């Protein structure tokens, strides 16, 4: 409780009397020579009777302090908004994350300022806290609109549009920080006792109305955009959008009720609405993983990749694609919308995305180049918790490789037993891939594979079983390779794997994967179950001129793997 004596000049319409009930001053107004800028105090409750002397009115007042629980609620709301702001800015590479972070930071500043306001009862202190509030409040509607626009359209607003949205917030901020010199924003600001706690009261100036209209229009447009977006989507995306829409609608309704005077005790509901908005946004951010899909997939590809790459969510809505995919799919593929039908590549992409994973191949005419052959590979995209959130589709033009393979078949460059490239075929492909790697400045990995103790198989079970083992070995190895990788039989039980565009770390992972595929499950040949292993030697790098140096280095590494006990991977120094 703050007991103090106020002195002021009585207005002509004041109904003053000596010795009357302490509550008679409920409608009296006094101008005070002290306080803040000659503002007025409304005395709605007096602890003792007032008296007049020498033209001055003296009253002893007791102003209620705001309840502690109310201040704590506001502080919690401010901290929650600040925490979500920090989390959002950590995802700054995602569209809309920066706008949301700034919006939540502004809400935190506004709410904390209001908590300070209701804990004050001096007009000067209260107006200082108002300035703190408007550092956040002035920009919140514009930031909300920018976030919603990015969320719905999947692309940010231009610089000119952003500057236009910041004009009225800048005017508002200037008016608030100079309000002691004019009556354009707050008119006759004063402290009133609502019977609950001290409250700032004022009439609205023209700049305040400008701020209010801009605020309500931006929030309303944001809510409408989100509502329309929610209707057009399904499943998890609709729930995400609905939560964000509800979060945006709460402060709009609270502001309208406040303007219409429907809130008890003149209490500003906007900061409390911010708590509800924060909870709804938190659910969308953390529970429904609002920002998890695009970052998890975007890390798999860059726009510089020559292969097409696209990401769809569980509703088959296109979430991301690189430059190559945009050029291939054309204007029919739009971010935020379902994959359209049209063209063999798109139709196959829709089919694979519906299944979530798989591989397929199709042919399609490409303007300027004629018919091309495309291989599509789809895989699930998972969030950090392991939940499936969509699919990623890699679109690779394999026309040149396919034509080469067809030519190789005509030239009898395939191994008749296994169907993979023979030694001559491997030599031609190796020279071509090495020259291409040198030209592009890329890396080429060469793996030599040798089945351990294969002679025992021939000696124990005969050459027919040995031939079946060689065929199954090729089948297993090919199943683990990417489109564009090359497998060939070098001779006997030795094989060569070529891995284009593969660095040292990726080559080692690939070799270990191939080794595990051969060693961790038995081969079934008729009624026989044979446990076999293989040794691997590798070399990464492209060589000017003769590429056989890569084979020699890989073969030397293979020899070391056998010397070290077999069933292992050894790489030659890069």
Tell me what percent of the residues of the chain surpass a pLDDT of 90: 30
What's the pLDDT at 480? 94
Q: Which of 154, 188, 206, 148 is nearest to 36 (CA)?
A: 188
Q: How confident is the model at residue 171 (pLDDT cuts 50, 70, 90)?
A: very high
Identify the residue with better confidence: 346 or 563. 563
What's the pLDDT at 308? 85
The string of pLDDT tens digits covering residues 522-557 is: 999 988 999 999 999 999 998 887 889 999 999 999
What's the pLDDT at 64? 58
Q: Which of 11, 26, 67 is nearest to 192 (CA)?
A: 26
Q: Cα separations (Å) of 504 from 304, 445, 498, 510, 574?
A: 21, 8, 13, 10, 8
Backbone CA torsion sign across 132, 137, 138, 144: positive
Q: Which of 352, 407, 391 is nearest to 374 (CA)?
A: 352
Yes or no: say if 174 and 131 are a contact pair by the CB < 8 Å rule.
Answer: no
**For range 22-49, the mean pLDDT:** 34
**For range 52-76, the mean pLDDT:** 62
* β strands within 138-244, DSSP E: 186-193, 198-204
**For range 119-136, the mean pLDDT:** 85
pTM comes to: 0.46
**For range 176-183, the mean pLDDT:** 90
Backbone CA torsion sign across 108, 109, 112, 118: negative
What's the pLDDT at 434? 93
Ranking 129-138, 145-154, 265-274, 461-470 by mean pLDDT, the lowest is 265-274
Q: What is the mean pLDDT of the chain?
A: 79
Task: Report the relative pairing of strands 308-313 and 388-397 from DSSP bridges.
Answer: antiparallel
Ranking 9-13, 307-311, 531-535 by mean pLDDT, the lowest is 9-13
**For range 166-170, the mean pLDDT:** 95
pLDDT surpassing 90 at residue 254: no
Q: How confident is the model at residue 168 (pLDDT cuts 50, 70, 90)?
A: very high
Q: Which of 344, 296, 298 is nearest to 321 (CA)?
A: 298
Ranking 156-165, 421-430, 522-531 by mean pLDDT, the lowest is 156-165
Q: How confident is the model at residue 289 (pLDDT cuts 50, 70, 90)?
A: low
pLDDT surpassing 70 at residue 265: no
What's the pLDDT at 5? 36
What's the pLDDT at 355? 81
User: For residue 426, what are the contacts with CB-CB under 8 A and spacing of at least 6?
Assistant: 486, 488, 490, 496, 498
**For range 296-308, the mean pLDDT:** 57
What's the pLDDT at 569? 96
Q: Which domains does the chain have, with CATH numbers?
A: 2-58 (no CATH), 68-287 (1.20.1070.10), 302-397 (3.30.450.20), 412-571 (3.30.70.270)
Identify the residue with better confidence: 380 or 343. 380
Consecutive H or E run containing 391? strand 388-397
């Amino acid at each position: 409780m703050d007991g103090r004596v106020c002195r002021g000049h009585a207005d002509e319409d004041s109904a003053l009397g000596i010795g009357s009930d302490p509550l008679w001053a409920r409608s009296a107004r006094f101008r005070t020579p002290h306080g803040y800028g000659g503002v007025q105090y409304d005395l709605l409750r007096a602890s003792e009777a007032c008296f007049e002397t020498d033209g001055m009115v003296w009253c002893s007042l007791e102003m209620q302090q705001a309840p502690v629980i109310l201040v704590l609620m506001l502080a919690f709301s401010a901290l929650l908004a600040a925490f979500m702001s920090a989390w959002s800015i950590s995802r700054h590479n995602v569209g809309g994350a920066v706008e949301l972070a700034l919006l939540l930071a502004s809400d935190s500043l506004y709410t904390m300022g209001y908590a300070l306001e209701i804990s004050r009862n001096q007009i000067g202190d209260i107006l200082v806290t108002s300035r703190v509030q408007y550092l956040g409040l002035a920009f919140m509607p514009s930031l909300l609109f920018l976030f919603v626009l990015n969320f719905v359209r999947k692309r940010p607003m231009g610089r000119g549009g952003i500057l236009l949205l910041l004009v009225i917030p800048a005017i508002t901020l200037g008016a608030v920080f100079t309000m002691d010199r004019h009556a354009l924003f707050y008119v006759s600001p004063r402290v009133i006792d609502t019977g609950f706690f001290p409250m700032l009261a004022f009439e609205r100036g023209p700049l305040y109305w400008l701020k209010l209209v801009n605020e309500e229009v931006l929030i309303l447009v944001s809510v409408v955009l989100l509502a329309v977006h929610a209707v057009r989507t399904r499943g998890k995306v609709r729930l995400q959008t609905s939560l964000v829409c509800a979060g945006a609608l709460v402060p709009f309704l609270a502001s309208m009720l406040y303007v219409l005077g429907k809130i008890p005790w003149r209490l500003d509901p906007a900061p409390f609405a911010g708590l509800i908005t924060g909870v709804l946004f938190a659910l969308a951010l953390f529970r429904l993983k609002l920002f998890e899909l695009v970052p998890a997939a975007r890390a798999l590809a860059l726009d510089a990749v020559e292969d097409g790459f696209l990401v769809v969510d569980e509703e088959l809505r296109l979430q991301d694609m690189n430059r190559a995919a945009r050029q291939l799919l054309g204007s029919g593929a739009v971010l935020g919308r379902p994959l359209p039908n049209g063209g063999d590549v798109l139709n196959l992409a829709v089919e694979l995305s519906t299944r979530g994973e798989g591989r397929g191949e199709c042919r399609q005419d490409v303007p300027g180049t004629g018919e091309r052959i495309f291989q599509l590979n789809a895989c699930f995209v998972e969030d950090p918790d392991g939940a499936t959130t969509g699919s990623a589709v890699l679109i690779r033009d394999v026309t040149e490789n396919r034509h080469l393979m067809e030519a190789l078949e005509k030239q009898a460059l395939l191994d008749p037993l296994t169907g993979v490239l023979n030694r001559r075929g491997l030599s031609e492909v190796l020279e071509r891939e090495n020259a291409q790697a040198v030209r592009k400045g890329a890396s080429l990995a060469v793996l030599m594979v040798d089945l351990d103790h294969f002679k025992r198989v021939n000696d124990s079970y005969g050459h027919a079983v040995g031939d079946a083992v060689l065929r199954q070995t090729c089948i297993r190895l090919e199943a683990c390779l990417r489109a564009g990788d090359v497998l060939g039989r070098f001779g006997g039980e030795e094989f060569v794997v070529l891995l284009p565009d593969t660095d040292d770390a990726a080559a080692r992972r690939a070799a270990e994967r191939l080794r595990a595929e051969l060693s961790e499950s038995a081969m079934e040949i008729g009624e026989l179950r044979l446990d076999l292993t293989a040794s691997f030697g590798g070399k990464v790098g492209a060589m000017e001129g003769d590429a056989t140096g890569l084979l020699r280095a890989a073969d030397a590494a293979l020899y070391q793997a056998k010397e070290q006990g077999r069933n292992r991977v050894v790489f030659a120094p890069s």
